[in-house]
């Protein structure tokens, strides 16, 4: 296997994030009585479990970026196993640290599976913003647990797919690093359309591009309907080639939504450094102009 050391490093990072996540969730549960992973939206969407699964698998994501290893099916298998084990490990860690008010350790009196049965069926479901208690869930607890299990696995797989879509340099098979970002606001669709049609229109005149990058007609004002263009400059740590990813979002009443059709990914000619453009440096010559 190519880059064997890197894959071992990634596996170690994954085990570390798994252990940390189990420890943090258990400590929060012990201190506040709130079980992070049981948090759900509309009862059945296991948001807490998804986040916990993603946290448990996050070491694989960050380790892969650090060691420049591409996600393989073997990584997907590891991520799924770790996310699934995280749920069981959290239950076990709860069980082994559970001390009753009278000082008796639960683990000394009941077996793990008996504990789990009581634990799952006597969970209280809390609904709505007021967290109205609906009483013990009974055998529905098993179904909830199964839903959470799926949540854990989806969260873990999320770490894998984020890696899959992370921009990389085809030539060197390394992950690109984020070098700079620029944000531009438009409160007028026509102003945005003019910008969008022209910003990458002059591939050989990066001074024109620099001018467009400083163009912020909305002057950072955000209201309903504002269009936000975010340009991210990425660079390969090995061959130094740069790329720009442009993301376009539109403001709703309270939130931004991305318009995927307007996203663009533009390769920058080799040897050109656009970091000064993103820093707003105007006087300096931009990179080397290609012939
Ligand atoms: Zn490269």
How many angstroms does the Cα of residue 101 sit away from the middle of ligand 1? 60
Question: For residues 205, 175, 167 and 47, what is the CA-based torsion angle, rounded to 10 degrees?
Answer: -140
- Return the sign of the alpha-carbon dihedral for residues 171, 172, 175, 179: negative
132-168 tens-digit pLDDT: 665 666 677 788 888 888 888 998 899 999 998 888 8
Q: From CA 183, how far away is CA 156, in angstroms rounded?
A: 31
CB 173 within 8 A of CB 68: yes
**Which residues have their alpha-adjacent CB atom under 5 A from ion ligand 1?**
169, 171-172, 236, 238-239
Whole-number pLDDT of residue 289 = 46
How many angstroms does the Cα of residue 197 sit away from the middle of ligand 1? 28
Whole-number pLDDT of residue 4 = 82
How many angstroms does the Cα of residue 248 sit away from the middle of ligand 1? 26
How many angstroms does the Cα of residue 172 sit away from the middle of ligand 1? 4
Whole-number pLDDT of residue 46 = 82
How many angstroms does the Cα of residue 241 sit away from the middle of ligand 1? 6
How many angstroms does the Cα of residue 242 sit away from the middle of ligand 1? 9
Average pLDDT across each block of 10 residues of the chain; the chain has 291 residues. List them in order. 79 92 89 78 80 91 90 89 88 86 84 84 62 64 84 90 88 88 89 87 71 78 89 91 92 90 88 83 52 36
54-87 tens-digit pLDDT: 999 999 999 999 998 888 888 899 999 988 898 8
CB 222 within 8 A of CB 185: yes
Q: From CA 268, how far away is CA 284, in angstroms rounded?
A: 18
How many angstroms does the Cα of residue 106 sit away from the middle of ligand 1? 56
Whole-number pLDDT of residue 125 = 59
How many angstroms does the Cα of residue 54 sit away from the middle of ligand 1? 29
How many angstroms does the Cα of residue 235 sit away from the middle of ligand 1? 8
């Amino acid at each position: 296997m190519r880059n064997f050391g890197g894959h071992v490093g990634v596996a170690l990072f994954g085990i570390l994030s798994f252990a940390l996540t189990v420890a943090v969730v258990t400590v929060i549960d012990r201190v506040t009585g709130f079980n992070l992973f049981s948090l759900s939206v509309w009862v059945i969407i296991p948001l807490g479990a998804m986040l916990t699964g993603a946290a448990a698998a996050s070491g694989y994501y960050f380790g892969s970026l650090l060691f420049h290893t591409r996600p393989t099916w073997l990584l997907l298998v590891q991520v799924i196993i770790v996310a699934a084990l995280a749920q069981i490990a959290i239950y076990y860690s709860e069980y082994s640290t559970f001390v009753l008010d009278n000082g008796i350790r639960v683990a000394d009196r009941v077996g793990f599976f008996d504990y789990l049965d009581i634990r799952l069926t006597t969970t209280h479901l809390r609904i709505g913003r007021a967290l109205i208690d609906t009483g013990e869930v009974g055998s529905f607890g098993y179904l909830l647990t199964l839903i959470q299990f799926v949540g854990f696995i989806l969260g873990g797989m999320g770490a894998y797919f984020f890696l899959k879509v992370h921009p990389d340099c085809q030539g060197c098979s390394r992950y690109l690093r984020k070098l700079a970002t620029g944000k531009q606001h438009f409160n007028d669709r026509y102003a945005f359309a003019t910008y969008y049609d022209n910003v990458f229109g002059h591939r050989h005149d990066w001074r024109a591009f620099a001018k467009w990058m400083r163009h912020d007609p909305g002057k950072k004002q955000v209201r309903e309907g504002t269009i936000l263009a975010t340009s991210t400059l990425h660079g390969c740590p090995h061959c130094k080639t740069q790329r720009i990813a442009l993301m376009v979002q539109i403001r709703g009443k309270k939130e931004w939504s991305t318009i995927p059709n307007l996203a663009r990914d533009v390769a920058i000619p080799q040897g050109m450094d656009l970091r000064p453009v993103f820093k707003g440096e105007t006087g300096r010559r931009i990179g080397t102009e290609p012939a």
